[in-house]
């Protein structure tokens, strides 16, 4: 089975645009963290959470090599990180 690369199969979601545009993102499973922290602080909560996300992604990806393969497991390229955050006191537009 060939690895699925979401940047290739879902180009509309990952391709850079020259101007802002609305896109429709289909419902899909994903892993996320929700919390606070400055993404620029190397020792901050945000950086720690991102490290945990990637650890989890790679653990799932490599689970095929162990005896405990999750139902529905398939080969995939670990997708790029996507993040949303705002500065304290800033309004949500």
Q: pLDDT digit string (tens) for 68-93? A: 778 888 888 888 877 776 666 656 55
- Which has the closest alpha carbon to 56: 32, 82, 28, 72? 32
Give every residue of the chain whose pLDDT is below 50, as ranges.
none
- Cα–Cα dist 82/69, whole Å: 26
Show the DSSP H helices in the chain as ranges. 6-9, 11-14, 45-62
* pLDDT at 8 (0 to 100): 93
Beta carbons of 79 and 6 less than 8 angstroms apart: yes
């Amino acid at each position: 089975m060939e690895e699925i690369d979401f940047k290739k199969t879902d180009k509309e979601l990952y391709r850079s645009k020259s101007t802002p545009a609305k896109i429709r993102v289909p419902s899909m499973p994903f892993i996320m963290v929700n919390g606070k922290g400055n993404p620029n602080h190397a020792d901050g909560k945000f950086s720690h959470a991102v490290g945990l996300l990637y650890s989890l992604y790679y653990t799932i990806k490599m689970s095929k090599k162990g005896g405990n393969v999750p139902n529905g497991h398939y080969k995939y390229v670990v997708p790029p990180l996507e993040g949303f955050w705002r500065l304290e006191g800033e309004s949500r537009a």
